[in-house]
């Protein structure tokens, strides 16, 4: 497990894609699917990065509301369940859009499933134009197809918009060789290659997402978003989380 400083591998990115899990918006203690206080905190973190001049796109999951796989275990058809999960990601994207615009950040939500009254359809050229104009773009609805995770969506959109870096925000501070919540002696990787991540079947992202990033040479940093100023520190070149790259 390398302990070399991640900053030796990365230049300051011009454009990033931030992948958020839906669960990060949830407050289980208060039985809140979307906690306004957490939303506001996420928005402030994103604004801090946006104001630094970095172009920001986001993909957010829907696991706080519904997961297709979980629905399948309860007897819901997997295709129907996955579409329900896609709609959940759009709900989260709209909630985060609202929080960002309340603090003065210009945004656009684009969805893979058309719903013109609430969001734009995903059109790559339009998304790129929004980014160039300094808007934060939130991609909702996954890929628009069942059986694909929002991790794969993040890798796909990062590839399409030519992102310099994919940031995967989790509730742990990187990639471990075992779940640190159940294995106190688990060791954290400072850096991995895409091939190592695939061969070791590390569960932090699915294989399709890793493969897409590998093919398009997009570095991934897996980190804990709730650490103080984690996003800013990453962009400043500090060794935060686990770097997965060539």
9-39: pLDDT as tens digits: 578 899 999 999 999 999 888 889 999 999 9
Q: In the beta sheet, which residues pair with residue 140?
A: 111
How far is it, in rounded angstroms, from Cα 60 to Cα 39?
12
* Range with lowest mean pLDDT among 31-35, 130-134, 160-164: 31-35
Helix (H, G, I), strand (E, B) or coil at 188: strand
Mean pLDDT of 124-139: 98
Model confidence, pTM = 0.91
Q: How far is CA 238 from the centre of its chain?
A: 20
Alpha-helix runs per DSSP H in 32-119 = 36-51, 68-73, 78-102
Contact 109, 140 (CB under 8 A): yes
The structural domains of the chain, ordered by start, are 6-245 (3.40.1160.10)
* Range with lowest mean pLDDT among 52-56, 120-124, 236-240: 236-240
Q: In the beta sheet, which residues pair with residue 32?
A: 27
């Amino acid at each position: 497990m390398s302990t070399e400083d991640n900053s030796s591998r990365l230049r300051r990115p011009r454009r990033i894609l931030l992948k958020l899990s839906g669960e990060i918006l949830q407050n289980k203690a208060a039985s809140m699917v979307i906690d306004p206080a957490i939303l506001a905190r996420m928005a402030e973190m994103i604004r801090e990065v946006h104001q630094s001049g970095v172009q920001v796109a986001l993909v957010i999951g829907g696991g706080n509301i519904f997961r297709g796989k979980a629905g399948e275990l309860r007897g819901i058809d997997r295709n129907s369940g996955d579409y329900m999960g896609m709609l959940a990601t759009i709900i989260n994207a709209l909630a985060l859009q609202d929080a960002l615009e309340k603090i003065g950040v210009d945004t656009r939500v684009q969805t893979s499933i058309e719903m013109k009254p609430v969001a734009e359809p995903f059109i790559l050229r339009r998304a790129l134009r929004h980014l160039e104009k300094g808007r934060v773009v939130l991609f909702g609805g996954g890929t628009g197809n069942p059986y694909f995770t929002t991790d794969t969506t993040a890798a796909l959109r990062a590839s399409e918009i030519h992102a310099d870096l994919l940031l995967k925000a989790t509730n742990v501070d990187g990639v471990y060789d075992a779940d640190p919540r159940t294995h106190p002696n688990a060791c954290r990787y400072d850096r991995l290659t895409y091939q190592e991540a695939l061969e070791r079947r590390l569960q932090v992202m699915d294989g399709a997402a890793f493969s897409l990033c590998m093919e398009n040479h997009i570095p991934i940093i897996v980190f804990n978003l709730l650490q103080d100023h984690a996003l800013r520190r990453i962009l400043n070149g500090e060794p935060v989380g686990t770097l997965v790259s060539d």
